[in-house]
Every structure is written in structure tokens, then in C-alpha cells.
Structure 1
Amino acid sequence: MSPLNTYLGLLLLLLFSLHNPSCSAAANDTLAAGQVLAVGDKLVSRNGKFALGFYKPALPAGTASKYGNVSSPGWYLAIWFNKIPVCTTVWVANRERPITDPELKLVQMKISEDGSSLVIINHATKFIVWSTQITNGTAQAKTSVNTSAILLDSGNLVIESLPDVYLWQSFDYPTDLALPGAKFGWNKVTGLRRMGTSKKNLIDPGLGSYSVQLNGRGIILWRRDPYMEYWTWSSVQLTNMLIPLLNSLLEMNAQTKGFLTPNYTNNKEEEYFMYHSSDESSSSFVSIDMSGQLKLSIWSQANQSWQEVYAQPPDPCTPFATCGPFSLCNGNSDLFCDCMESFSQKSPQDWKLKDRTAGCFRNTPLDCPSNRSSTDMFHTIIRVALPANPEKIEDATTQSKCAEACLSNCSCNAYAYKDSTCFVWHSELLNVKLHDSIESLSEDTLYLRLAAKDMPATTKTKRKPVVAAVTAASIVGFGLLMLMLFFLIWRNKFKCCGVPLHHNQGSSGIIAFRYTDLSHATKNFSEKLGSGGFGSVFKGVLRDSTTIAVKRLDGLHQGEKQFRAEVSSLGLIQHINLVKLIGFCYEGDKRLLVYEHMINGSLDAHLFHSNGAVLDWSTRHQIAIGVARGLSYLHESCRECIIHCDIKPENILLEASFAPKIADFGMAAFVGRDFSRVLTTFRGTKGYLAPEWLSGVAITPKVDVYSFGMVLLEIISGRRNLSEAYTSNHYHFDYFPVQAISKLHEGSVQNLLDPELHGDFNLEEAERVCKVACWCIQENEIDRPAMGEVVRFLEGLQEVDMPPMPRLLAAITEGSHI
């Protein structure tokens, strides 16, 4: 090893503490004109909370086995939290021009000789690595003798010529996050626009894939390459919805209650978002992370880690192409990105570092012969949002012709046949989202072109050892469930949670069906009733003439999860207001569930669709009570509390007499009786989600209570709770819960009832239902009643007080009059 390399190695070892913030040395907070900041020097704010210096990003100690032998591109001038043991930078100067190891000892930060800027310069070559952008250079030059750089207690690095007169500040040039007190927006007079851009990966603070900006159109999130805006909040929405929502969520969370306050300002001079912290000892930031979400993070002293308490958009699959090309995104999964069938991660190491821009690549090249037909085949991916940038093939008027058109072109990667139109994709498949993502409700089917040898049926024995191990573990775990079910079948009857049922319908055994029997019963799955969570539902008839509904679960991984959740809940309980699980099929990779058939379909068809039967008030009232009884049973009467997690009209089925039955337990969570909460992944449906889902705290059965309250309001009105409309210059939203509680307080509930009732309803019952609904949708879960109370309220066995106006609804009401 050369003497130079030996010297550099020792130097890097000595300087390691620069990127290990557990060491915090005392230092000055000011760099005056004529002084320099070299490698090993630091500026530290007077309160000791922030430090500025040269650092090299590094992974936490002891993680080499997880991430492998990786290193950062170089050294950076940065500001970081000085007292937190987890290295967390809040601002980086030269993120596009890292300093290499050989030039490290040659660089310095100083105020330029003319006093016009702050620079990082190589003092040997005089090459400027980085400099500030000061527009008022003339004013600075006149006062250069007094110019200094100061690291403020807020974490803001400023260039000051006169006391409290800042010629430049780091808060105006954010990297990927904003601290309390920093304005995020734009100056309408000077044109200054503050923009945040995600970092590239965990050890590379360079420019990543996603950016955020607040401008005249509102807050905009976009992917940089290819450019695609995927989330916007207009100024009206910021005022009337986002800020009130943020205030409510922050008040609900014990970690943020009382000391974090968001604020939005829009006047003639500037428009910006800012948040304040009243607790100077706390540490927090809002960042745009590598997956494209805005996140509020707070340091937990107890856990010695950063806690994410809020994310927007809540679905990690909303950011465009967040998983890279040839991947699938599932917002309800902890690891929400996965490669498509027979594709592998292009750079597994980058994926571990949370950089998925390279996505996935084919395991086997496509067959593209010039003198014969291709042997490639199509793998079906159902219920997905189709990829971006499709090409329409006008001549392909049938699905078979569409498939032929794709096979005949060597560059074609996939096709879809939708609404009698053929779409093909010749480039990378981007932004493919599964239906079971939080905000993706697409029912489209994508046909992915694969080499014949890579079709799933021929690759089952070729899985990677890791996948095989996971599969083996799944089989063992699921085997216990199967043994329990077969035991129940052998007994031919079972007890339901060990308590009496409300109108018990009997306790026949669960049937293990053969796949061929169900295929015959459903006429080869020809009569589709609809689509539920993770699968399609088909009508069938058993040999004894019993009409059934068969749910065929899609996707090996998600289908398995859905299968377990449904069988673990419905397989061991019975209640008149829960859909009955007749049996199942567990054969090879096939997962099917067999239910009793509900002749009147789901509640949403009768509330919102013109072709559904209009429900009279008495029927609506009995549906409300029935659903409440079913939820009360799940929450309070079973050995384990079962939280449904997806209560909505689509999951309430109606039998011949319109008696309701709760269905679709694929998202259910279980809580032992010794516990009151469960920490689980984000799940549910937009419009019915309790606020605590967004705050990231562990959930309780009260999330079902909130969803039930939203359903009650829709039962009352016969319309969706939220309707939105856009015009060229205006955004308008109509949020029915605001009207409901306002009319309730005014004593005019009759104005809320579905016009289809034509005034034929029981006003006393309607007022009671409205009160119960408004109690159920209180922001703080403590204020919501338990479902047992809800049943007594609705049955008139217990008086209901007038509910208060939730703070969020009050803010929306006030904002709507601005």
C-alpha cells in the first residue's frame, strides 16, 4: 500500500466520527469572513441541537450482512441532528457533487473573498465545488467585512451581513425535508420557489426520483423521470381539508398532541406551508422519502428511533412507478413492491437501500424467431391498474387478435383487452398496482408475455431457496389451520366462540370441496356475481340444489393471506348477521371459499345504483341494527376480538328478506382478550377509514365503529358521503357528514333523508340513527361508543345524547364559508 493510501486510510478512520452523530463536540455556531471550515471542524448551534460539517453517509454499525459491502459516493457538507444517535441529515449542500476521498483534505468551506457567497473550494486548485446562490450580491459586497455564516438553533444556516438581515438561508433551498419553522412554498414577489427532492438511497443523498413543491396550483408531488404528477392539493383543499385534517390527527396522537401545529399562509406576497413545534427538546421533520410519500417523523426517546406518524398520500402505491419497471405494487403489504412473475430484481442491493428505480428484469428472454411463430405465452394478472403509456391497436377487434398482435412484435411485453379495445405495451411496464392497494380499485386484467419455460406451472420446482423456505413455513403454519378445520369436519359440528348466538341458524360442519366439484357447480365459473377483496365471486348450485357463492382467490401470496383470514374468522364462528362459510377448497395453488348465496346482493347496489330496489325506512333501520349486532358479536363475544377493518356498503350482503350479513373478512385483524390494540398494516377503503389509520398508531375495534358510522350516514341519505367536482378554475367538494351533524344540531334531520323515501320515515328513529352515526365518527376513538352500546342505542334501549361537532368537520364547515 502506498504511503498516500495509508495516510488517507488513517485520516478516514479519524474522521469517522463526523458521520457518527453519537459524538457531539462543542464548537462555535459562527463562521466569520476570513475563517475556514475544514474537514474535522464543525459549526454547532447554540442549543447544541444541530451541527454542520463534512460527513460521509454510512449504514448503521452491524448491518453489513444485510446490505453487503456498499459505500457512499463521497463526502458532503451537511447539517444533521447533533444529539440523536441515528445519523439524520436535515440539509446537504453539494448533493450533486460529492467530494472524493483523495480531495477531502484539500477542501474548505469559507465566505468568498468578495463576500458575495458561501463556497466549498479546493484550496489547491481553487476549484469551487459548491457555492450559495445569492441574488443580492451588491448589498453583500458593501458589507462583506461584517458577513458571517451562522447555524441557528432552528437548524437554518444563514449568511448574515447585518443583525437579523439574511442574504441567504438554507431553509430557502431544502433538500429532502423541512424542519419546524421553515417555510415551504413560493415568494410571489421575488419568484423564489422552495422545492424538495428525495434522496437517491439510504447512503446517497443525491437527487432521487420524486419532488414536491407548493406553487400557484397548490402542493404538487411528481416523479422526475419520466415526469408524472401523481398527487395534488389545491389551495382550497389545503385551507378547507388538509390543514384541519392534519390538526386533528396531530391532536389525536400522543406523540404530537399539543406541540406540533401546521399552518398555511396565502397572501399577496407569498404562499407557504409551515409547521411549528412548541417543545424545543423534541425533534421532528417532514420529508419526501425515496418511495415518493410525504412523511412526518418524530424522534422517540423511548424507542431511540424515528417514528412515522403521518404519510400522504397514504397508499405507498400512489407515487408513480414507485416500484420501478416490471414490478407490482400492493399498498396493503408491508413489503409493497415485488417483481412480476418470472422477473427478478435488477439490483437487489439497490432494493435493500430503498432505490427501486431499476425495477426488475426478465429471467428468460422472449422467443422472437423470424421463420416461425413465437412459443411465448401470456401470464394473467387480474384486478390491476394497467401500466402507463399503452398503445392502442385498432385492427385487433377481438382478444385473440390482440394476443396475436402482441406475439407478432418482438418488443411487445404485455397486452390488455378492455372495453373491446386492444392495448399493448412495447416499453417497460410502469405503475402496475394490484386491486388490493389502498386506493386502487381497478378490475382490469393484464396479460404479461413470458417465455414458455417461465410460465408459473413449469417453474414451481425452480424457486429460490428463500422462497422455498418461506413457502415451507407457510405450509407448516397453514397445516395447523387445516388440521383444525378437518377436525371440525370430522365432528360435523362446532361451537361458535363458546357463547350463545343471536338467532342461531344451526351449526352444520364445514365442507372440504374438490376443485372439480366447484367447477361443475359454477358451470366452470361462468356466472360472475362481482369482485370482492382479493378475488372474484361466482354463483353456483350444489347437487342438493343449495345456491352458493364461490370466491376464487387471486394471486398465490395475497390469496393465501385472504384465505387464512377468512377461514380463521368465519370458519369458527356463526351469527345471523355474518355471512356463513359453507366450505372451502385447498387444492394445489387453488384457494376457494364457499358461502351461502345472498339473493339481494350488496347494500351499495340498493343505496347508490339506479337498478337496485329502493329500501324503505323500516328495512334500512333493520339493516343498521343487524350490522351493528354482527360487529358487536365480532368485537365482544368471540374468544379473540375480531376487527373487520373494511366495513362499507359493498361488504354488507342482503338475503331474501333484506336481513344484512357482514362479508369479506380478508382484511380482518385479531386481538387477544389480554390486549386492547393491534399494530397492523394500513388497510381498508378510502372514505371509511378512521383517522387513526393515517396516524400510524395501533388500532382498536373503534376503527370498525368509525366505518359503521360512515355507513349509517349513507343509509340515511342514500348517497355517497363524499362527492367532488372540478371546473376550470374551481374545486368543489360536498362532504355529507358535515351536513348531517349541522342539520342534527339545527333540529332538521328530516332534510337529510333519502329523497327516494318521499317523506315516509319514522322521524324519531331517523334522529336516533343520525345521533349514533355522528358519535361513531368522532375523531378521538375514546369518544366513540362500543358496538354493544350502538346496538342498544339503535334499538331504543338506551338514550343517546347530542354528539359534539368533530373538530375536523367544524374546520371544514368554517372553511366552506370562506
Structure 2
Amino acid sequence: MPPLLYNLFVLIVVFLGGGAPACSAATDTVKPGHVVGGKDKVVSNNGKFALGFFKAPAPNQEKWFLGIWFNTVPNRTTVWVANGGEPIMDAADAGSPELTISGDDGDLVALHPTTKSIAWSTNVSAKNSTSNSNNTAAVLLNSGNLVLQDTSNMSQSRTLWQSVDHPTDTLLPGAKLGRDKLTGLNRRLVSKKSMAGPSPGAYCFEVDEDTPQLVLKLCNSSVTYWSSGPWNGQYFTGIPELIGNSPGFHLGFFDNSREEYLQFNVSNEAVVTRNFIDVDGRNKQQVWLDSSQSWLTLYSNPKVQCDVYGVCGAFSVCSFSLLPLCSCMKGFTVGSVKDWEQGDQTGGCVRKNQLDCVGSNTSSSDSTDKFYSMSDIILPDKAESMQDVDSSDECMKVCLNNCSCTAYSYGSKGCLVWHTELLNAKLQQQNSNGEIMYLRLSARDMQRSKKRRVIIGVVVGACAAGLAVLMFILMFIIRRNKDKNRSENYASRKLLDGDVMSLLDHKLCGEADLKEVERVCKIGCWCIQEDEVDRPTMGQVVQILEGVLDCDMPPLPRLLQRIFERPSSVSTSTPVFLFVGSPERQ
């Protein structure tokens, strides 16, 4: 590890571990005849982990799940879920599910309280004919591993099943990430679909089959979007945070005739740490700090969110520096508003209006479809290169004459066309040279685009001028009014209430498009952010005004915060935001 991270981890291990967790009076074992249900839980002997049933976060609270979580972290943070894809039962049903040892075959099972039907099982009885209900027990170990043991031999128990062989999104100290070469078992992490529940998502973290390295990839595809670099005997070359030796953190990669796996350990058992794949498709190493009651991220890969493959879904653009991260392309709208609100944008966007070629026309020669230019774009995947095409006009005709063509680009790589959904398009970073892509749209979608282009020059110039006028009016009102608080409250109230029209120069007689004014105000406040990283480029401003990108509410710049100071009755720690209307999806 670099000196800073190295010293940080040592400090955490030595001083911030918080001592050994207090042992709980709750049992760590489920024995035959023992039933765990409702709010009951099984707690590891060191008090660090708990096993039990829980309900998914809002708005999916009507589902019961079985899982293991950190018992010492206030907000439930699961490390393993038995049935993420299929809930044990609906919470609307009477009673709560029950966890017990099956009286028939000794499996650990979750039962419906009324019907006693099996909703989940370790399902090892068929593989272990000697096991029965009288000689098996489930134990939650201090490592967070849930094991089903054959206790028929009192001197030495035999493991029949263990949760670490079936990980979900988290790797704990001592657990293995990798393959058993003899049985074919592949232990890999799978992201959650969203923060609204434990349903499995699209991203996987696993050991590469061909090279001794770790990879992040799409679970149901061969697409790999990040790799750790090969193991050199001490660390992975692509994770510089792991360079060096820490007395409290031990990392190893093992490859022998039977297994190939990654494993990490910590010397202080009291340290609460985890390696996991987040819902956003990134692998992270975190440690819990009792002092701040929060997770500290030691490293995260890939570094940039847009480098996660397909994070914004089809027909959307991922922005490296502009908010929001994901936005629908011109002529498209969010496919599932519910999923986007829960943090899952992988479903992407859908067309507002069908293409003419796909509609009533069987021939594309008389199609009314048009092309919309998108600049500074890192081109989507799965482009087809067209040979013997020598100009942009020819490339356009090639695309227009094919009903399945969704976009084209003509540049340094020649003529490229796309016949599928546009996936993994990115808005280039500031001061970078991107390509121009021409998106195929219906004539109806282009009508609004033409109207905007007529006024785009005026609006771009008005962006700075409008902000200056706005600032002048606000300052004039404040200076003119002897009652400073009254003036400030009037101006801030109008902005926060979305009544931006009342702030215009009266000579305009109210003749201004409300949405255009709202958009200019929002862009203006992004342009004067104190941190230059938060400011959009002029190209991005144009794209926002054209509707290619959305623009969320910016934080109120400090200059305006000083102007719009709240009355003393309101806490000064309350964040202030400039509200000028809801963002419009183009």
C-alpha cells in the first residue's frame, strides 16, 4: 500500500477497532427442534454477525428474505442473502417465516409459517445420505460463515454445506473468491440490482479463467470492463493501493492443482471490513469506523463510474463530469422511472416516437427519418464498419437505406453504423476530442430540435447575459430596500418557489419562454460553481440547451448563499438549493 493508505489501515486496525464486540446472549446454533422466526436471530459467538429474516427496504417492504448481516453496524448491511432473487414469502401473509432443521432429512430450511412448505433449503441431503435430522446443526461462525455440520461424530464435525461457497455481493476476511478445479464450483460476487432489495444485478466480480487476475464483467456475457492486472506474487499490478505490506491486512492469491482463488485476512478480528461489488458495478474495499459511524472506502475500481459497462443502459449517455450521470438521448425517455429512482439505470431509455421506416413504410427510400448530431461522444459498442464509403453523405445514405440502422458516424475510423441498441455511449471529458455520432430520429422528434436550433444562438449568449441581469436585479433590490431581510427573503422566496418570471426585467413585459428561462438559470448556476470540475463546458451547455443532456438542480453557489441567507430561525446547516422548476426530459 502507499504510505498514506498503509498508515490509515494500520491506524484503523490498532486504534479504531473498538475492541472485541460484546458477546451476545443469543445462540450461534440452530439445532433440531429449534425454530428461528420473526425478529429472532442467530448471533455469532463474537457478536459480530447475525443471521435471521429481514424485510427489503422501502418500497419493497412486503417481502421477507433470509440473510446474514453485520450485527455491530447500526444500519443493516447484509453480507449474504439466501434467496435474493426469490423472497421467502410476502410480508402480507399471516405470521413470519421459520428457520429450522428439517425433520425429514436434516437440511437447514426456511418454511412458510402456515403451509410449512419449504421456501429455501441447503439441499444437501441427497448428496449426504448419512445425514438426518438428529445429527445435523447449523452454526454461524465468528467469520460470518454459516455452516451446516454433520455432528454424528462427536470428536470431529463434518461440513455438509457453507454459505461462503455461495456468496452474493460480499467477500469477508477468510472467504475464498475463485474456482474449485475439481468440482467446478465458481465462487464469484454478483451485484444487487438496486438499493431497494437484494435481487441480483447485472455485474460480476470473479477470477479470470485465463489469467491470474480479477475481473469485473457482465454476468451473462463475456464483456469485461475492468481487470486488476496479473498477480505478481505480492499484489495485483492494476491495484496500486495494495502495494506494500501492512501488518494488519494480508492478501493472497493461490493457484494449485485443486483451486484458484483470492483471499484476504485481517489480524484484528474486531475490525469490520468487507470487499464487495456495489450496485453501480464497482468493486470496493471498505472498513467501518465507529468514531464516525460510517464506511470508509479504501479503494474503488474502476475509478470512474462511466467506465462500468452499460451503467446507463441503452440509448442513454454517461457523462464523466456533468450531472446527472445518466441522461436519455434526444427523442428517448426513461424506460422504467421506478428503477431509475432506485439507482438502477441499466434498463436504459426507449423511443418516444417510432421511426418512419419501422412504421408503415416497407421501403426506406422515402423515409422521413432525420439524423441528430451528437458531438464529443465516445462511440457506443458494436459498430459495423462500412467499406468503400468515402464521405459523410454516403455514410448517412447507407444508414438511412437500412431500416435497422439506428445511428452512424463518419470520422477517423471511416463510416460506422449501428444496427442495434446504442449501448455504452459516453460524453467525453473536458478538453478531450470525441467523435460525432448522428442519431436516427423520427421527423416528429426533429421538429422540436429545429425550433431549438433557431433560438440556440440567442439562448447561449443569453446564458451569461441572463445571469448577469439576474444578479444585477437581485443586487439592485437588496440595495434599494432599506429592510435587508425583507429584500433577501423576497428574492430567495421567488427563486425557491420557481417564480423566476417575476425576476425578469419589466421592460420584457413577461414575453419569455418559462422553460427556457428556467433552463438558463440552472445552467448559469452550474457555470459559476466555485469548483471548476463542476462547471460544464460550452459544448455541454449547448447539448443541455438542445435537449441532448438533462440538467439537475445545481447547489446554490456561495455567492448567492450569502445573498440568500435564511432568517436566523432556520439552522445555518440547512442546505439551500436554487429551485426553478422540474428538469425536462427531452
2:49–2:69 CA contact under 8 A, matched in 1 = yes
Query: Residue 145 of structure 1: SS of its match in structure 2?
Result: coil
Query: In the alignment, which residue of structure 2 is the partner of 1:181?
Result: 174
Distance 1:243 1:272, change over 3 A: farther
Query: Aligned partners of 2:379, 2:111: CA distance in 1, in Å?
Result: 49
Question: How far did 1:432 drift?
Answer: 1.0
Distance 1:585 1:32, change over 3 A: closer
Distance 1:211 1:585, change over 3 A: closer
Query: In the alignment, which residue of structure 2 is the partner of 1:302?
Result: 291
In the TM superposition, what are the counterparts of 1:692-703 in structure 2 within 5 Å? Answer: none
Query: In the alignment, which residue of structure 1 is the partner of 2:278?
Result: 289
Query: In the alignment, which residue of structure 2 is the partner of 1:224?
Result: 219
Question: How far did 1:199 drift?
Answer: 1.0
Matched, 1:444 2:444: no
Query: TM-score w.r.t. structure 2 length?
Result: 0.67
Matched, 1:117 2:116: no
Q: CA RMSD in A?
A: 4.2
Distance 1:84 1:406, change over 3 A: same
Q: Higher relative CO (CA 8 A, sep ≥ 6), structure 1 or 2?
A: 2
Query: Aligned partners of 1:125, 1:134: CA distance in 2, in Å?
Result: 22
Query: Residue 54 of structure 1: SS of its match in structure 2?
Result: strand
Query: TM-score w.r.t. structure 1 length?
Result: 0.49
In the TM superposition, what are the counterparts of 1:708-727 in structure 2 within 5 Å? Answer: none
Give the fraction of aligned pairs with identical amino acids, expressed as a percent: 35
Matched, 1:390 2:383: yes
- Kindly provide the amino acid, as one letter, of the partner of residue 219 in structure 1: L
Higher helix proportion, which one? 1
Query: Aligned partners of 1:442, 1:558: CA distance in 2, in Å?
Result: 26
Equivalent residue for 2:400, pick from 387, 395, 407: 407
Query: Residue 138 of structure 1: SS of its match in structure 2?
Result: coil
1:114–1:141 CA contact under 8 A, matched in 2 = no
Distance 1:425 1:282, change over 3 A: same
Matched, 1:198 2:191: yes
Query: In the alignment, which residue of structure 1 is the partner of 2:553?
Result: none
Unpaired runs of 5+ residues, structure 2, are 1-22, 473-522, 545-586
2:229–2:237 CA contact under 8 A, matched in 1 = no
Query: Residue 95 of structure 2: SS of its match in structure 1?
Result: helix
Select between 190-199 and 443-452 the one with higher mean Cα deviation: 443-452
1:189–1:269 CA contact under 8 A, matched in 2 = yes
Query: Aligned partners of 2:294, 2:429: CA distance in 1, in Å?
Result: 30
Question: How far did 1:590 drift?
Answer: 10
Query: Aligned partners of 1:283, 1:275: CA distance in 2, in Å?
Result: 13
1:618-667 superposed Cα distances (whole Å, 9 cap, x missing partner): xxxxxxxxxxxxxxxxxxxxxxxxxxxxxxxxxxxxxxxxxxxxxxxxxx
1:685-714 superposed Cα distances (whole Å, 9 cap, x missing partner): xxxxxxxxxxxxxxxxxxxxxxxxxxxxxx
1:286-327 superposed Cα distances (whole Å, 9 cap, x missing partner): 111122111112223333222323112222222221110111
1:146-187 superposed Cα distances (whole Å, 9 cap, x missing partner): 321111122111112245632211111100111122111122
Distance 1:410 1:215, change over 3 A: closer
1:215–1:271 CA contact under 8 A, matched in 2 = no
2:203–2:219 CA contact under 8 A, matched in 1 = yes
Matched, 1:132 2:131: no
Query: In the alignment, which residue of structure 1 is the partner of 2:314?
Result: 325
2:215–2:228 CA contact under 8 A, matched in 1 = yes
Distance 1:394 1:563, change over 3 A: farther
Query: In the alignment, which residue of structure 1 is the partner of 2:158?
Result: 165
Unpaired runs of 5+ residues, structure 1, are 1-23, 60-69, 252-256, 482-555, 569-583, 592-818
In the TM superposition, what are the counterparts of 1:600-639 in structure 2 within 5 Å? Answer: none
Query: Aligned partners of 2:114, 2:433: CA distance in 1, in Å?
Result: 60
Question: How far did 1:273 drift?
Answer: 1.1
Query: In the alignment, which residue of structure 1 is the partner of 2:512?
Result: none
1:75–1:104 CA contact under 8 A, matched in 2 = no
Question: How far did 1:478 drift?
Answer: 11
Question: How far did 1:374 drift?
Answer: 3.7
Query: Residue 395 of structure 2: SS of its match in structure 1?
Result: helix
Question: How far did 1:376 drift?
Answer: 3.4
1:206-230 superposed Cα distances (whole Å, 9 cap, x missing partner): 1211112225424232213555222
1:102-155 superposed Cα distances (whole Å, 9 cap, x missing partner): 44626322222354522223364453211115388336517x533211111221
1:51-72 superposed Cα distances (whole Å, 9 cap, x missing partner): 111111114xxxxxxxxxx324
Query: In the alignment, which residue of structure 1 is the partner of 2:370?
Result: 377
Query: In the alignment, which residue of structure 2 is the partner of 1:628?
Result: none
In the TM superposition, what are the counterparts of 1:8-19 in structure 2 within 5 Å? Answer: none
Matched, 1:273 2:262: yes
Query: Aligned partners of 1:108, 1:190: CA distance in 2, in Å?
Result: 32
Question: How far did 1:563 drift?
Answer: 13
1:187–1:270 CA contact under 8 A, matched in 2 = yes
Query: Aligned partners of 1:378, 1:559: CA distance in 2, in Å?
Result: 29
In the TM superposition, what are the counterparts of 1:237-248 in structure 2 within 5 Å? Answer: 239=234, 241-242=236-237, 245-248=240-243
2:190–2:204 CA contact under 8 A, matched in 1 = yes
Matched, 1:312 2:301: yes
Distance 1:589 1:173, change over 3 A: closer
- Kindly provide the amino acid, as one letter, of the partner of residue 358 in structure 1: G
Distance 1:47 1:473, change over 3 A: farther
Query: In the alignment, which residue of structure 2 is the partner of 1:89?
Result: 78
Question: How far did 1:402 drift?
Answer: 1.6
Q: Paired residues, what number?
A: 454
Query: In the alignment, which residue of structure 2 is the partner of 1:521?
Result: none
Query: Residue 143 of structure 2: SS of its match in structure 1?
Result: coil
- Kindly provide the amino acid, as one letter, of the partner of residue 222 in structure 1: K
Query: In the alignment, which residue of structure 1 is the partner of 2:203?
Result: 210
Question: How far did 1:405 drift?
Answer: 2.6
1:60-95 superposed Cα distances (whole Å, 9 cap, x missing partner): xxxxxxxxxx32461100111122222211110011
